[in-house]
Amino acid sequence: MLDHKLYTFLKVIELGSFSKAAAELNLTQPAVSQQISQLEEELGVPLLIRKRGSLTLTPQGEIACRYARNLLKTYSGIWSELDDLNKEYRHIMVGITPIAQSSPLVDVLVRYSARKRDLKFSMYEQNPERICNLIQTGVVSWGILDSVPMDRLSDSDLQVLTLETEQLECVLCPGHPLAAGESVSIADLRKEAMLLPQPKYTSTALFSEALQQAGSSLDDLRIILETDDVAALKRYAAEGIGITVLPRSCCEREVRSGELVLRPIREIHVSSRVCMVYAEGNRDLDILHEIAAQFRIARGAGAVPDPEASLKK
């Protein structure tokens, strides 16, 4: 059972108030305060900065909050999947990276699910490394990733179906001076405010590696924001606050609507992959392959053979 103190902690963060959380949880305010204090004591770190009229998460609190939310999602998923089993639903848990959330593959998956009355997908957002672990332990059926860490596959029974390979590109608003050219350079990037996915995500790792091969590094850039919220990266880029680097398919809607433009980076040629990852013997492979086939039709191309697809322990 999920620790009630974690649930109380999340409710305090959500409502920004001990008294409001107490009212919603049908507790007294001292009881809520006591639970937060007990949680801080158990973890050995302060979680909240209490100021008159406001609450702010400490850096340790941000970490605790992220894990508490993931625990709540997992706990809720247990009950949801058991309930669906009783209703004879086919419930598939899918791990997905933040960047892959914007992939056209997700649109195909949702449309596929809409046509099936007895099928439901639940998306579980995590970084690629964590998703690989969740697949192996059976917590999720398969993963949708923008790239797969190859060192992670070298000692596993994971299988990879690569559906599309694309370049990482510079993403900026149409009115940005760099949008007037056909491409941008690393020197151009050094002069700009950069918005990037967090370093733990594969696209940023690929970008960092490509910079190093070109004689530069992330340290040479003026990075003003690192986040796992890809929608925020695109929104701030569209507002002209900074520029970001993302796979092309991640921005297709915004490019079509005229909110964003894409420009290749001259000295960098690095590919990101849209892929589906699964374990041998997965019972939902029939659906995975149906969705993959529909994606290939929608994109007008076949799946890209993956030389690493059958690496085993």
- What pLDDT shows up at residue 85? 57
CA 244 from centre of chain = 16
- Burial of 183-213, coded b for 16+ CB within 10 Å and e otherwise, reads ebbbebbeebebbbbeeebbbbbbbbebbee
Q: Stretch 13-39: mean pLDDT, rounded? A: 88
* Tens of pLDDT, residues 224-279: 999 888 889 999 999 999 999 998 888 988 999 999 999 999 988 877 888 899 88
- What pLDDT shows up at residue 2? 58
- What pLDDT shows up at residue 304? 41
- What pLDDT shows up at residue 81? 60
Read off the amino acid at residue 279. Answer: A
Average predicted confidence (pLDDT) for the chain: 83
Question: Strand 193-197 to strand 158-172: parallel, antiparallel, or no bridges (unpaired)?
Answer: unpaired
Per-domain residue ranges for the chain? 4-67, 73-163+273-299, 165-271
Q: How confident is the model at residue 307 (pLDDT cuts 50, 70, 90)?
A: very low
Read off the amino acid at residue 188. Answer: D
* Tens of pLDDT, residues 134-147: 888 777 888 998 87
Pick the CATH number of 4-67 from 3.40.50.300, 3.40.47.10, 3.60.15.10, 1.10.10.10: 1.10.10.10
Q: Which of 235, 253, 309 is nearest to 278 (CA)?
A: 309
- What pLDDT shows up at residue 269? 82
Under 8 Å between Cβ of 97 and 131: yes
Question: What does the alpha-carbon distance between residue 59 and residue 47 come to, in Å, rounded to a whole number?
Answer: 8
Under 8 Å between Cβ of 149 and 202: yes
User: Is pLDDT of 195 > 50?
Assistant: yes
Residue with more model confidence, 151 or 19: 19
**CATH entry 3.40.50.720 includes domain 165-271:** no
Q: Stretch 160-184: mean pLDDT, rounded? A: 92
* HEC readout, the chain: CCCHHHHHHHHHHHHCCHHHHHHHHCCCHHHHHHHHHHHHHHHCCCCEEEECCEEEECHHHHHHHHHHHHHHHHHHHHHHHHHHHHCCCEEEEEEECCCHHHCHHHHHHHHHHHCCCCEEEEEEECCHHHHHHHHHCCCCCEEEECCCCHHHHCCCCEEEEEEEEEEEEEEECCCCHHHHCCCECHHHHHCCEEEEECCCCHHHHHHHHHHHHCCCCHHHCEEEEEECCHHHHHHHHHCCCCEEEEEHHHHHHHHHHCCCEEECECCCCCEEEEEEEEECCCCCHHHHHHHHHHHHHHHCCCCECCCCCCCCC
Question: Strand 158-172 to strand 243-247: parallel, antiparallel, or no bridges (unpaired)?
Answer: antiparallel
- What pLDDT shows up at residue 156? 62
Question: What does the alpha-carbon distance between residue 287 and residue 291 come to, in Å, rounded to a whole number?
Answer: 6
Residue with more model confidence, 221 or 128: 221
* Tens of pLDDT, residues 146-168: 877 666 556 567 888 888 888 89
Question: What does the alpha-carbon distance between residue 250 and residue 259 come to, in Å, rounded to a whole number?
Answer: 13
Do 4-67 and 165-271 agree at the fold level?
no
The CATH class for the domain spanning 73-163+273-299 reads alpha beta
Residue with more model confidence, 127 or 266: 266
* Tens of pLDDT, residues 39-78: 899 899 999 988 777 788 898 888 888 888 877 767 666 6
- 63-72, 84-93, 294-303 — most confident range: 63-72
